Structures are given as structure tokens and as C-alpha cells.
Amino acid sequence: MPFVPTFGAKLHELVSSGHDCIGWSEDGTHVWVTNPERLARDVIPRFFGHCSYPSLSRSLHAHSFTISPGSNNTWHHMSFRRDAPALAKTIMRKRPKPNERRRPEAPQDPHVSRAPNAESALARLCEELREEEQAGETLMLTLERLQASLSSAHAQEAMLVRVRLLLELLVEAHAQSGGGGGGALSVAEAAGSAREAPARGPPLRSSAAAGVEAGAASLAMMGCGGGGGGGGGCGGGGSG
């Protein structure tokens, strides 16, 4: 299994690397730091995964290193010596004391903790309700337009059926008159009776009735013209 350098082993290699910003004391039992900024910029990243002197200081404290009295940047550990690199490998991170361990946070009031969630849920519900109302209004407008279109289509279809029936009655009346002078009255009567007959469809508009009457008059004129050759026409009938 390959050896994984411990913090003590990497620190021993760093201090012994010969940089002018960090080194050993004369007796080899202390470590001094002269330029923390340059150490963090040029040396620490080569041995550790960061470039911060405060982070290195916290790691030193966590591994039981102490600062020598009267100096802010001179460190000491009883197992960290220049002539004992193997001993530096045994330096372990100290465990926190029981009273220093993080205490669990006191449970919060469930009503207080859930209040923001309840407010956000209520806001979402209100927004969804507004969207549903808008969708309902849109559906009602669409339904009204469809109903109006359907009613118009039914009215137009009924009108066409009614006009067709009236035209059939007019054609039948004209055929029964035989084109004679009496046919004009029969056609007009047929048109009137068709207009007043019980509706086989919805009632016609006044414009449609006027159109039917105009058609009856035309057919009557056709009947008078046809009878003129045999009986002197509508006018000739009186003179004969």
C-alpha cells in the first residue's frame, strides 16, 4: 500500500526545503516564519492544497503545535524536530474535547419554522387559483362563441329549407295552372298559402317572403304571356 504523507511529514519537508521565509531554529526544535505572505504565495501551494497562511496556522493548532512565547510566528511541537523526520509522521490531529464538540441545535418551534413555507404555499395556491379563473373565463367565452356560431348555422339551414319548400310550391302551382290566364291567381294564392301555411321549418324573414312574392309575380307574368297565343293572353281574354 503506498505511503500517504501525513501533515507532519509534509510540514517537515516544507520546513527543510531551504526557503528563506521559513526554517528551523538553531537547535532544530522550533520553526520560524519570517514572511507569511510570501510563504502562502510561493511555498504552501507546493505541499498543501491551498495558499493561505491562516489555514496553515489552524492546521498547526489542530495538530497540537504551539506558538513560542514572545513570538507570533515561531512554532513548536515535542515530536517535530529537524533530526527526526520519521517522528514527524506520527503527529496526529488532536481530537476535540467532549465539551468542545458541537452541541445539537435546539429544536425550533414548528409553527415558526413552517411559517415561511406556509406563506409560500399559500401564495402558490392563490396564483394557481387566479390562473384557473382566467382559464375558466377563456373557456366560457369560447363556448359562447361556439354556441352563437351553431345557432347562426341552424338558422341559415332552416331558412334554406323554408325557401326551398316555398319554391317547390310555386313551381307546382305554375305547373298546375298550365300557363293559362288563371294561373297567375293560382300562383299568387299558392305563394300566399305557402307563406301562411303551418311551418315545416322556422318562419321566414320579411325579405325572404318578399323574394317569394316577387318570384310568384314573375311566374304569373310567364303564365299570361303563354296564354296569349291561344286565348289572347290576360288582356286578350277580356276582349274575346
Percent above pLDDT 70 for the chain: 63
pLDDT greater than 70 at residue 6:
yes
227 and 180 in contact (C-beta within 8 Å)? yes
> Averaging pLDDT over each range in 4-8, 144-148, 229-233, which range is the top one?
144-148
More confident residue, 32 or 125: 32
Instruction: Return all residues near 25 (Cβ < 8 A) that are at least 6 apart.
Output: 31, 32, 74
Q: What is the predicted pLDDT for the residue at 1?
A: 41
pLDDT digits (tens, 9 = 90+) for 68-123: 888 888 999 999 999 999 999 999 998 876 665 555 555 555 554 455 577 777 77
**CA–CA distance, 19 with 218 (Å, rounded to integer):** 124
Q: What is the predicted pLDDT for the residue at 193?
A: 55
In this prediction, residue 23 has a pLDDT band, given cuts at 50, 70 and 90, of very high
Q: What is the predicted pLDDT for the residue at 124?
A: 77
Kindly report the length of the chain. Answer: 240
pLDDT digits (tens, 9 = 90+) for 190-203: 555 555 554 444 44
182 and 172 in contact (C-beta within 8 Å)? no
Distances in whole angstroms, Cα of residue 106 to Cα of each of 96, 110, 114, 116, 117: 21, 12, 16, 19, 20
62 and 55 in contact (C-beta within 8 Å)? no
Q: What is the predicted pLDDT for the residue at 230?
A: 44
pLDDT digits (tens, 9 = 90+) for 36-71: 999 999 999 999 888 999 999 999 999 999 998 888
Burial of 156 (0-12, 13-18, 19+ CB in 10 A): exposed
pLDDT digits (tens, 9 = 90+) for 124-174: 788 777 778 777 777 787 788 888 888 888 888 888 898 889 998 888 888
pLDDT greater than 60 at residue 184:
no
Q: What is the predicted pLDDT for the residue at 78?
A: 93
Q: What is the predicted pLDDT for the residue at 123?
A: 77
Reported pTM: 0.41
